[in-house]
Amino acid sequence: MAILLTGGAGYIGSHTALTILNSGMDVVVLDNLLNSSEEALKRVEQLTGKKAPLIVGDCTRKEDLEKVFSQYPIEQVVHFAGLKAVGESVEKPLLYYRNNLDATLTLLEVMRAHGCFDIVFSSSATVYGTIQEMPLRETLPVGCTNPYGWTKCMSEQILKDTAAADERFHIVLLRYFNPVGAHESGMIGEDPSGIPNNLMPFICQVARGRLKELSVFGHDYPTKDGTGVRDYIHVMDLAEGHLAALHYARDHAGAEVFNLGTGTGYSVMDLVNTFEAVNQVKVPYHFAPRRPGDIATCYADPAKAKEVLGWSAKRTLTDMCRDAWNWQKHNPDGYRS
């Protein structure tokens, strides 16, 4: 039996593929490679000594999913496939709704047709919208501020309704906080195309000299140093969270939501200072206006994942900064290096 990872060639998917393969289970990947490279999976194979077959195909196409389910004995699915750029989703809402919702709906239909009912879904802390009550607990109401976020809220609802209507479904919704870092080997990591939107890859490219300076968006937030606070989580901790979720899904019907975060918030300046100290590199920066749509502070209450899944994040901010830079240093142009 095998675990299907949709979007498994991407950043979080490739680290999760590695973790699942190392745990002794088989992995099959379906990815359209729109935002990823086959090279990531080749490196996963080098690191684990095991191959995860890649089917280049699209989750919104029933025939592509049919091909996977008829060719492989899929027991459980982790559904990473999706578009994820918040800004782009504001400009191209139909693209985001079509891709992210269609992918979820088509996948569920094909799973059911093939008697596969266990699914772990990549949701996001973005579903907490502008809630200011920290730490964020799973019981808070959801609501979003951009089309990308709405695709996560809506997919969560689709999955919950599906579990409510059909008790054969075992569904786990994972709300990721801010995934950063890379596998400690430096062989796989985050490889954004163009100028990165997110803080850690931007810092890495400034440290490397590819970008001149970091713009710190806002230094007048009500936080300890005025810069935005987030719950950064090492991507390998996140990958291990998926393994725990897959184990849980095996014998729990229904739909259950879990935050995957550390429970600790760090500011933009914490990240810059730690990155410089750990890696002995300079990260030139300047203060810039707030980025529209950003909130001051966002961090998880990770207690439920600890209690129910027996999972908690182990790696520190130092580990995240060291591993992110290790990947960047060895792969200055990502998988094209």
Beta sheet of 54-56, edge-to-edge order: 54-56, 26-31, 2-6, 74-79, 118-124, 170-176, 254-260
Give the residue among 76, 100, 90 at the shortest CA–CA distance from 28: 76
Neighbours of 11 (CB within 10 A): 24
Which residue lies nearer to ligand NAD by CB, 148 or 248?
148
Phi, psi (deg, nearest 5) at residue 177: -90, -125
Examine residue 176 and tell whether it contacts ligand NAD (CB under 6 A): yes
SS3 183: coil
When CB distances are held under 5 to 8 angstroms depending on the partner's kind, the choice from ligand UFG, ligand NAD, none that residue 35 binds is ligand NAD
Pairing of strands 266-267, 229-230: antiparallel
Give the residue among 222, 216, 304, 232 at the shortest CA–CA distance from 265: 232
Which residue lies nearer to ligand NAD by CB, 59 or 257?
59
Contact residues: ligand UFG, CB under 6 A: 84, 86, 124-126, 176-178, 197-199, 202, 214-217, 228, 230, 268, 291, 294
Per annotation, catalytic residue among 72, 148, 266, 299: 148
Is the previous residue joined to 135 through a cis bond, with omega within 30 degrees of 0?
A: yes
Rounded to whole angstroms, the Cα distance separating 36 from 14 reads: 10
Contact 321, 275 (CB under 8 A): yes
Q: Which of residues 97-126 bind ligand NAD (CB under 6 A)?
A: 99, 103, 122, 124
Examine residue 299 and tell whether it contacts ligand NAD (CB under 6 A): no
When CB distances are held under 5 to 8 angstroms depending on the partner's kind, the choice from ligand UFG, ligand NAD, none that residue 215 binds is ligand UFG
Which residue lies nearer to ligand UFG by CB, 112 or 291?
291
Which residue lies nearer to ligand NAD by CB, 30 or 317?
30
When CB distances are held under 5 to 8 angstroms depending on the partner's kind, the choice from ligand UFG, ligand NAD, none that residue 104 binds is none
Q: Applying CB under 6 A, which of residues 179, 181, 218, 265 lies at the interface with ligand NAD? A: 179
The reply to whether 148 belongs to the active site is yes
Catalytic residues: 148
Judged by the rule CB under 6 A, the positions of this chain that interact with ligand NAD are 6-7, 9-13, 30-36, 58-60, 80-84, 99, 103, 122, 124, 176, 179
